[in-house]
Amino acid sequence: MSRPDPDRRAAGTAAAASRGAAAKRWIKWLLLGAVVAGLMYACRGEKTYRWEEEVVLGSGERLLLDRSIRLERISAPFNPFQTSWAWRESTIVVREGPPDVKGARYEAWLLPMLIERDQGREGLVVVGIPVNCDAYKAYRPDRGWLYLAFHLQSGQPTQQVPIPDWAWGRRLNLLKPNSDKAPPRRVNPDFTGRFNREESRGEINYFEIRSITPTHCR
């Protein structure tokens, strides 16, 4: 019986060790690729909701709005795989309505809540909440409250204005969509009222313009 060749046995052991090291490197690169892909997905994901919305103003006038809002996927601090949707730009275009506001367009880093006639002059006022602290600091709301207001008029640029006194205590008449689910293609006032009540979950500052609500942004 021949004895095993020590050199051949050593060569086989070295080859096995080399294959094991290569497999470990391959697994390492696969895991690194998964982490990078996860980070890219967490940082770059976004979506846009678009819908038509009917609104009845306090004056009895009816508007048909084309609305859209862009959302961006953001990751939790120190955990890129725990993500959520954050509000970004919001757009309102008055498709149908009185001549002085038809075609008026609004776009801002705002979650719009209320649209009404601007008492004392032509046009509309949109009141809402900044989507984040950067937007709050950029627009600088008066008196340090949570809300912002913008004036809309056909053929005129959108202008930020002080929040009108009549806006305080008013209920929302604009839909606040759920960030996880697109709203219906067309929304009427009954749907808006019912949906906003359910989604507010008792947080009155998301259902009514409240002067007692401060902002956490500084």
- Give pLDDT tens digits for 90-106: 999 999 999 989 999 98
The band of 133, judged by pLDDT with boundaries at 50, 70 and 90, is confident
- Give pLDDT tens digits for 6-52: 555 555 555 555 666 666 666 665 565 555 555 554 455 889 999 99
Please report, rounded to a whole number, the percentage of residues in the chain having pLDDT higher than 90.
Answer: 29
Mean pLDDT of the chain: 79
H runs (alpha helix) in the chain: 6-44, 133-139, 189-200
What is the reported pTM?
Answer: 0.72
Q: Where are the domains of the chain?
A: 1-44, 47-206
- What pLDDT score does 42 carry? 47
- What pLDDT score does 18 carry? 63
- Give pLDDT tens digits for 98-131: 998 999 998 888 889 999 998 777 899 999 988 8
Query: Pick from 57, 54, 66: which is nearest to 91 by CA?
Result: 66
How far apart (Å, rounded) are the C-alpha atoms in residues 126 and 150? 5
Q: pLDDT higher for 105 or 200?
A: 105
Decide: 127 and 149 in contact? Cβ < 8 Å: yes
Question: Across the strands, what pairs with 92?
Answer: 67, 106
